Amino acid sequence: MYFQNVDQPQEHSHRSHQHVMANLIRMRLHWAVGERNRVFTPRLPDGSWQSYSKNDGWQSEYLHRSIVPTMHYQKSLPRLPIPKLEDTIRRYLAAQRPLLSDDDYSKTEKMAYEFQKGVGKELHSELVAQDKKNKHTSYISALWLNMYLTQRNSLVLNFSPFMALNLDPKPEYNDQLVRSTNMVVSAVRLMKTFRAGFLEPEVFHLNPAKSGTDAFKSLIRWVPPSLSSVGAYLMKAYPLDMSQFYHMFNSTRIPRHGRDELFTDEKGRHLLVMRKGNMYVFDVVDRDGNLVKPAEIQAHLKFILSDQTPAPAFPLSFLSTENRDVWAGLREKLLAAGNVKALGLVDSALFCLCFDDETLHDPIQVFHNLLCGDGCNRWYDKSFSFIVTKNGRAGIQFEHSWADGLTIFRLLNEIFKDTTEWPQVSPGSQTAAADSASAVTKLQFKLNAELENSISKAKEKFQAAVSKLTIDIVEFKKGGKEMLRMNKLSPDAMAQLAFQMGFLHQYGQTANSYEASSTAKFLHGRTETIRSTTIHTKRCTHAFVHQANQHSVQELRGMLDECSRYHKQLIKEAAVGQGFDRHLFAMQHLATSKGLPLPAFYQDTAYSTMNHNILSSSSLTSPAFSFGGFTPMVPDGFGLGYSIHKEWISCFISSYPARNVTEFQRCVNKSLEGIFSVVEGKLLR
């Protein structure tokens, strides 16, 4: 996610309160900072005071009890702005310029200005009017969810990314049973912590030494929720939207004809476990809402791991890999065959835990396993699934409609911290004397010949699809973000430049780029696109690749500086809702929903080409996980999940047969070497 360069949020409707809040904060600022080292005990929502002692009984039920209620900032989050139409058109044309010839650009420019003066002006005005009537949400939230739910392609490879957790630093805790138990317990405690309002609000701190303290939290919790975000801004703390957490647990994407349903049933108290394609359920929360004892959960998981039942001849899981309309029809037949109760248990489970029997070490094998597995031991419709291999390699796969990366980051960070610092079971723990045979239910499904045949067909399609995917890894060890920042260069800008330069090395072309950026600082914000291919990167990549002997090191360094400056501007614009992609998307959807002819602007070949994203990328860096991955957005593209570490850079690259992933990996490495050589003041070889 891209918050390191975010400025303060734009002005919004709370200006009349800002002087009041400013005075309040400033009067107390000296006190808050001076008291930073005192031990504060958080006040709970019921008004009582509670210490943070890890030995207290509440600790077995919750991860923590935040001083500030979870949703304290939600009511005062600013609304996602709709950019001015002229700004959107200007930014759109700037992004098109490096991709088009002079003649093609002139045509696109003419169509864009005609759109701005004509039907685009009308659509923009109506979009703004609609937005004013829906102040409880953002203009993009429902449209973006609908975009996902109406997609008919299989979730596998298309809408189910993953993140790989780091191994537990204590090797003995990477035992499959121990690690799985601790992950389940921590996840249930996270669920309970969130639903009780005790989860620490998600806040981005520009100055954590001031705003990340208990002193500040003890002060801000008394600011009314309608003003709390404004108070936080004055301390350069930026609360983020947390509405996606409501669909984290007990949720499933149910296939429907034309548009899927995002289903959530908070009454579910059970966990779904998969092993060898078999499904099991057991309660992890008791009838009183309390966490089942970790030793009992461990006993139930041990019982499942010891089950010798072979994989079913027709694993139901393959149906969740199907085209969504096909799967919707098959689900109806599955229900009609007498599987209502069993499917209901799958849908309402808190989440899914997948026990894989493989022992994996190679990162590319881990990538394949977490991204798609063998299709037999996953239920791709669940909001998220933990996957744990025999040797304790663990990760998460999630369905993308309900959540963006930031929400999953928080989930994994909390799970990793809790399981490594406060594990509830250990390698020497004794499992409880629980009656697992009674507590654990193996789900049985009634299948007729038609359903069995459909499972076989789905399996064939799945295997054909995943066999086309190829993976490679960039591991550049000659420099990272520390060196780049010391030289006043944006690390993200240099990574994006290396991808574009690598593509030019390999294919002799300037590629369209899509980089995801979060807009979670706004109420119900989702994402915006950073169009990182610019006139500056085009000039720079051509200079490095085709004209290196025509430029001095100083000239090449100047180009890097210009790429960095412009990219940081794009990051800031996207993060504050001032990109252009979502605005254009919303106006196109509005025209379609009104039954209007599609404006000529959207029929322009240049518009289609821009949305055919060759280089699709997302930055993934956290102490909790080692890497993440996804597939290309288009058949002839690359998927780039990259991490910029202190002293090195890594990137997992995925592609289909239309592209040579191994050669691209080599070209990206070569590009990074060239960039870092210039940073060090050396001539290119």
Catalytic positions, please? 400
Task: Write the CB contacts of 605 (distance below 8 Å, at least 6 apart in sequence).
Answer: none
Does residue 202 contact residue 406 with C-beta atoms inside 8 Å?
Answer: yes
Neighbours of 176 (CB within 10 A): 20
Cβ–Cβ under 8 Å, residues 21 and 231? yes
Per DSSP, the residues of 209-264 read HHHTSHHHHHHHTTS-TTTHHHHHHHTTEEE---GGGGGTSSEEEE--SSS-EEEE
Q: Which amino acid is at 242?
A: M
Position 548: which residue type?
A
Residues 162, 394: Cα–Cα separation, whole Å: 11
Check: CB of residue 640 under 8 Å from CB of residue 653.
Answer: yes
Query: Looking at the DSSP assignment, which residues form a beta bridge with residue 165?
Result: 625
Q: Which two tokens stand for residue 28?
A: 């107390």
User: For the CA atoms of the chain, what is the radius of gyration?
Assistant: 26
CB 429 within 8 A of CB 172: no
**362, 381 contact by CB (below 8 A):** no
Q: How many CA atoms lie within 13 A of 628 on its CB side?
A: 27
Q: How far is CA 575 from the centre of its chain?
A: 15
Residue whose entry in the numeric block shows the structure tokens 């399609």? 461
Using alpha carbons, select from 87, 430, 29 the residue that is nearest to residue 231.
29
List phi, psi (to 5°) of 682: -100, 150
Q: Is 528 helix (H, G, I), strand (E, B) or coil?
A: strand
SS3 395: strand
Q: And the tokens for 106?
A: 């002139």
- As a three-state string, the secondary structure of 620-682 is CCCCCEEEEECCCCCCCCEEEEEEECCCCEEEEEEECCCCCHHHHHHHHHHHHHHHHHHHCCC
Helices (H), 422-516: 436-439, 449-466, 481-486, 491-507
C-alpha span between 69 and 89 (Å, rounded)? 41
| CA separation, residue 49 to residues 32, 63, 158, 218 (Å) | 19, 17, 47, 12
For residue 396, what is the enclosing H or E element? strand 394-398
First to last CA, the chain: 34
CB 471 within 8 A of CB 652: yes
Q: How far is CA 325 from the centre of its chain?
A: 25
Task: Check residue 316 and report its DSSP letter.
Answer: G
Name the helix (H) or strand (E) containing 530.
Answer: strand 527-530
Return d(Cα 677, Cα 669) in angstroms, integer: 12
